Structure 1
Amino acid sequence: MKKIGVLIVDDEKNTRTGIKYALDDTRYSVDTAENIKTGLTLFKQKQPQIVITDLRMEGETDGFILLKKIKEENPDTIVIMITAYGDVEKAVTAMQEGAYDFVTKPFTADQIEIKVNKAAETIKLIDNNRILRCELSSQFEMIGKSDAIQKLKEQISLIAPSDRPVLILGENGTGKELVARAIQQFSLRSSGPFVQVNCAAIPETLIEAELFGSKKGSFSYSIENKSGKFEQADSGTLFLDEIGDMSLNAQSKVLRAIEYNEITLIGAEKPIQVDVRVIAATNKNLSQMVSDNKFREDLYYRLNVLPIYVPALKERADDIPLLIEHFIKKNGYISEAGTLFTKDAIRVLQSWSWPGNIRELKNIVERACILGRNKTVDAEMIQSFLSGAPVKCKDFIDTGFPLKEARENFERNYIIRVLEECRNNKSKAAERLGLQRSYLHQKLTELGINDKD
């Protein structure tokens, strides 16, 4: 088996020697350097896959210089920073700039060995996914070739192998869940569970029980032990969608779960250990919410170690033709002849502001496929959809459906359109439709409409 190259850069001889002896010499080939200059020379000669460097060395510029030069030379190199207790904040900054992890002095041989072994597993994952890392699998494929989407794919490939929390930022409908699933798929936890929680959809009184679980009898309607989402995501990934809507009290418990890898079920006396990577997402300005005392500052900084921005559709309008083709192929209403969008129709779509982003485009394409079956979809038809003007049934309606199916198609598309205009706010949509909120949820289930539609 080929050994993994490790370079140790530290001005203290005892530290260099201690780390070298802590590593299994049958698995690792270790070189050491007492300063940054020698370290860079050895790095260029040996091309190690892992570099362990002190953040501060006597008479040297700080380890950020070495980190920067290594990442310029080979972005895939894993860098582990050694830091004193008081420099933890700088170590976190180093991670934001590309470092894989950090270890705080004083540390034991076991601690450094665990860090390096974990880095070795990450290297194996990177090697296995080298060809695929910017071409995400068809299940969670990100359609597009624009600069914005290529940058997003590259960020995912870099962030996924780490085990740190991720904060996904972006408007509604941009595909934040897709990004979260892609990160999980290319992480060391890809074989583990992916558990999703929509923090905005759970009442404040129930969010803690939903996240952390509860013991039988802990409250009036608790008739049995119930595991929470953290426990269900053990050894996998927990996706906290719309985390900006979580109560401050629940935020404090999420922070503890992330920091100490433990949770306490409601009604339990002792905590239990969990091994979970947290990915959070929001369309809100959390930094402003921190200033307004509506979001915990400590949780914000804990999540914001690896931020990733999902571009709005208007920022990647060049991808619209590819997205249209993708949605047409996925649409079950399309005949073999397919549905064609004229160049003028596509230009209209590319000039639209897309307040509902990808979700809105998907619904527009689906509506065009249903109403314009086997017909050319022109600019006039698209403009009528975007303006909310009624479509002339005699021109676009397909009489090939039984009445029941036609009625269901109309209801489905009408409700989807109202949800779009209400930014997926179920309460507002129910009011617009003249329905009770509970009945709207029932109709959504009956018609197979979910938040992705």
Structure 2
Amino acid sequence: MTDPVLLVEDDISIAVVITTALEDEGLKVVRCDSVAERDRLLACERYSALVTDVVLKDGDGIATLDEVRRQQPHLPVIVVSAQNTLDTAVRASDTGAFEYFPKPFDLDELVRAVTAAIGNADAEARPLDGEGEGALPLVGRSNAMQAVYRMITRVLRNDLTVLILGESGTGKELVAEAIHKLGQRSRGPFVAVNTAAIPADLIESELFGHEKGAFTGAFARHIGKFEQARGGTLFLDEIGDMPMQAQTRLLRALQSGTILRVGGRDEVPIDARIIAATNKDLAPLIETGRFREDLFYRLNVVPIQLPPLRERGDDVDALAGHFLGQAAREGLPRRNLSKEAAALLRVRPWRGNVRELKNFIYRLALLAREEVVDRAAVQALLADEAATASPSAGPAMFDGGNYNDLEGALHRWLAANAPEPGHIYAKAIAAFEKPLLTHMLDTTGGNQLRAARMLGINRNTLRKRLDELGIDPEYFAARVRG
């Protein structure tokens, strides 16, 4: 007969529900409500699985699992917790937990996890190598984010390729950084590449490197991003914008596990985890021949879908508080939100997602007059933004669309976004290119030839970028026609 399941839960109602569900599956359950009683029971009898809460009256259910491992080394552990943070999920994963469930959880899923854990009880448990509490980059306890946290924990102990999907501003790079920081390649470099910000004729050299003399201007060997990420993680952002020729070479690299520098002859082994991300729906790109289907399947080994902020419930409150604290640590005035102000932020659609919310909170911290920001102050700033926003370019980057304020806008953008060293150029280009092109079309009344001449670029290049950025020149031409 199967050994009993040990349930450690100090909430009597939850304990009864779990016990009943497990007993309905034919399992015997022994129940207790403390770390001390858990350890006493483990010393007296063998168990087939342990289901434990985290916050118990006399200790931390995760932090004390070393004693569980000492007494019954191969006992599978299922963690349940109301501390619904990425840190809790990662701690559970690091201690070798078979599964982690945030409260409230799906009871049927919990029962299936316990029975699966018992079936795998002979497998050796992972060692206790967690790093404990730490400042992690993701904020939010909504059900949508819990699904993300659970997916992150499942890829930390392997090198499977991950494809992160989500709207612009949802935090795709933060997820990639979390996987790197918390995973088995954390001691290596994290190399991020915005494939949309690199000219098509340079992207292969940037990714794979080139040999001296490979082309005009190649005066020395250049080590590409794949080799720079050796021992660590290579993050390919905006993969949906990668040119087809580069897609073909990337596919070959992933298939063979090697790269070939431009102009080179010797294959160089890949020693980096690959994480890709896109804010585009790749299915129509595949159907129209703009993205390789075979490359999609190579990248889409483990997909992680990030929810937009509008689907994350009260996470807006937590994020706003987090960004207010972050702004204060960076030298801006310390602010707090009134309940009415926070409620107003919760109902805003935040089309720019977390990035838009962060920028708004930083501006609020700078411009608000009182330490406790009330609803009126939030409404006033929202009204100011609505008045200066361009209907075709999204939130205004230039004050009133004034091109002469570009330098000032850049300084404000850097202050608000604080991009990581090594990523500033690509992120600045990505942030300013669309409003810059929009301004030029507005200035020229939609005349692409004149706009291209003013910018000093080829008209075909301008047309291509307008198409990729979703800017319609006809809108500006129609405005001129009245």
Structure 2 length-normalised TM: 0.58
- Displacement of 1:316 in angstroms is 1.0
Query: Is the 2:324–2:361 Cα contact (8 Å) retained in structure 1?
Result: yes
Q: Distance in 1 between matches of 2:317 and 2:287?
A: 41
| Equivalent in the alignment of 1:430 | 436
Encode CA deviations 1:290-331: one digit per residue, 9 max, x unaligned.
122111111101111100011111111301121111111111
Encode CA deviations 1:215-241: one digit per residue, 9 max, x unaligned.
111111111100000011112110000
Q: 1:77 to 1:369 in 2, by over 3 A?
A: farther
Q: Distance in 2 between matches of 1:360 and 1:322?
A: 15
| Equivalent in the alignment of 1:73 | 116
1:245 aligns with 2:214: no
Q: Which of 350, 357, 362 is the matching residue for 2:358?
A: 362
Q: Distance in 1 between matches of 2:409 and 2:295?
A: 44
**Amino acid corresponding to residue 340 of structure 1 in structure 2:** N
Q: Distance in 1 between matches of 2:188 and 2:369?
A: 42
**Amino acid corresponding to residue 117 of structure 2 in structure 1:** N
Pairs within 5 Å for 1:9-88? 73-74=116-117
Q: Distance in 2 between matches of 1:213 and 1:296?
A: 22
1:236 aligns with 2:232: yes
Q: 1:297 to 1:215 in 2, by over 3 A?
A: same
Query: Is the 2:191–2:233 Cα contact (8 Å) retained in structure 1?
Result: yes
| Equivalent in the alignment of 1:128 | 129
Query: Is the 2:49–2:114 Cα contact (8 Å) retained in structure 1?
Result: no
| Equivalent in the alignment of 1:322 | 318
| Equivalent in the alignment of 1:145 | 141
Q: Distance in 2 between matches of 1:233 and 1:298?
A: 24
Query: Is the 1:213–1:227 Cα contact (8 Å) retained in structure 2?
Result: yes
Query: Is the 1:71–1:77 Cα contact (8 Å) retained in structure 2?
Result: no
| Equivalent in the alignment of 2:282 | 286
**Amino acid corresponding to residue 218 of structure 2 in structure 1:** S
Q: Percent identity?
A: 39
Secondary structure of residue in 2 paired with 1:197: strand
Q: Which of 349, 355, 365 is the matching residue for 2:345?
A: 349
Secondary structure of residue in 2 paired with 1:214: coil
Q: 1:150 to 1:349 in 2, by over 3 A?
A: same
Encode CA deviations 1:52-110: one digit per residue, 9 max, x unaligned.
xxxxxxxxxxxxxxxx9778533996999xxxxxxxxxxxxxxxxxxxxxxxxxxxxxx
Q: 1:47 to 1:353 in 2, by over 3 A?
A: same
Q: Distance in 2 between matches of 1:128 and 1:47?
A: 16
Q: Distance in 1 between matches of 2:353 and 2:377?
A: 19
Structure 1 length-normalised TM: 0.61
Query: Is the 2:324–2:336 Cα contact (8 Å) retained in structure 1?
Result: no
| Equivalent in the alignment of 2:152 | 156
Secondary structure of residue in 2 paired with 1:279: strand
Pairs within 5 Å for 1:270-309? 270-309=266-305
- Displacement of 1:412 in angstroms is 4.2
Query: Is the 1:367–1:413 Cα contact (8 Å) retained in structure 2?
Result: no
Q: Distance in 2 between matches of 1:223 and 1:46?
A: 59
- Displacement of 1:173 in angstroms is 0.6
Secondary structure of residue in 2 paired with 1:141: coil
Query: Is the 2:49–2:118 Cα contact (8 Å) retained in structure 1?
Result: no
Q: 1:231 to 1:198 in 2, by over 3 A?
A: same
- Displacement of 1:415 in angstroms is 9.1
Pairs within 5 Å for 1:407-418? 412-413=411-412
Secondary structure of residue in 2 paired with 1:123: coil
Unaligned runs of 5+ in 2: 1-47, 51-71, 77-110, 389-405, 417-427, 444-453, 457-482
**Amino acid corresponding to residue 429 of structure 1 in structure 2:** P
Q: Distance in 1 between matches of 2:413 and 2:193?
A: 27
Query: Is the 2:235–2:275 Cα contact (8 Å) retained in structure 1?
Result: yes
Q: Which of 227, 246, 251 is the matching residue for 2:223?
A: 227
Q: 1:156 to 1:229 in 2, by over 3 A?
A: same
Q: 1:348 to 1:288 in 2, by over 3 A?
A: same
Query: Is the 1:70–1:77 Cα contact (8 Å) retained in structure 2?
Result: no
1:218 aligns with 2:214: yes
Encode CA deviations 1:162-204: one digit per residue, 9 max, x unaligned.
2110000001111100100111122221111111100000011
Query: Is the 1:149–1:311 Cα contact (8 Å) retained in structure 2?
Result: yes
- Displacement of 1:383 in angstroms is 2.6
**Amino acid corresponding to residue 307 of structure 1 in structure 2:** P
- Displacement of 1:254 in angstroms is 1.1
